Amino acid sequence: MKTSSQAVTRRIALAVLLCGLLVLTGCGPEKKAQQGPKEVLSAYIDATISGRPEEAYSLLSSRDRSEKTLQAFIAERADEESLVRNAMAKKISYTIRHVHVEGGRARATVDITAPDYDRMIRDILSTLDIRDLPRGSLDAHVHVSGLLGRHIRKYRDRGIPMRTTAEMFDLVEETGEWKVAVHGGVKK
């Protein structure tokens, strides 16, 4: 027959053993993994492309966040445009080509392939002539809708024109975490 002190000792030993197993298997309290500048920049670009402004904002430097509130940042990415943004976002890809880290600052070169918006807008504008716009609202609606519809069909059939550009991004380390510095980094 076991005494109560033996039962307590067994329970303590079992608890210590379980805690040891949890620590060894990594099942203890979750620790936030330290992310380098490349991972933070990738998360920022993904959030921007995918229309997750809260996440993108959280990855900005304190200087950038002090210059624009979260509400203003979200307002710039209004839901009214989300249908077009989401359709175009599927076309965008990027490769972080190089990250140079020097102290608490980093500069990354990113190749971004995206729809060639300049070319698309020039293409649409080249077919628009205000003098051809009918005076009546319904006629104008039919005219402009038809014109835009022809461009949509063209891009659907022939593909959206794309271009790849190399873009530079700055990052700063703030209190042990890397942040994207859209406006050049830390406040002076």
pLDDT average per 10 residues of sequence, the chain (188 residues): 52 44 40 77 92 92 93 77 74 95 96 94 86 84 85 88 96 95 63
- Here the CATH number for the domain that contains residue 57 is 3.10.450.100
The SS3 call for residue 95 is: strand
Tokens of 88: 């175009």
Rounded alpha-carbon distances, angstroms, from residue 158 to 121, 132, 143:
16, 26, 23
**Residue 171 and residue 37 in contact, taking contact as beta carbons nearer than 8 Å:** yes
Tell me how crowded residue 126 is: count the other CB atoms within 10 A of its CB. Answer: 8
Whole-number pLDDT of residue 62: 94
Residue 14, domain member (yes or no): no
Whole-number pLDDT of residue 10: 53
Tokens of 180: 């994207």
Look at the chain and report how many structural domains it folds into: 1
What b/e readout covers 21-54, taking b as 16+ CB neighbours within 10 angstroms? eeeeeeeeeeeeeeeebbebbbbbbebbbeeebe
Residue 138, domain member (yes or no): no
The range of the structural domain enclosing residue 43 comes to 34-116+160-180
Q: Whole-model pTM above 0.75? A: no
Whole-number pLDDT of residue 5: 54
Whole-number pLDDT of residue 14: 42
Which phi and psi angles does 76 have, rounded to 5°? Answer: -65, -20
Residue 164, domain member (yes or no): yes
Which residues have a Cβ under 8 Å from the Cβ of 40 and sit 6 or more positions away?
A: 59, 171, 177, 178, 179, 180
Whole-number pLDDT of residue 137: 84
Angle at 126 between CA 88 and CA 76, to 5 degrees: 40
How distant is the alpha carbon of residue 69 from its chain centre?
17
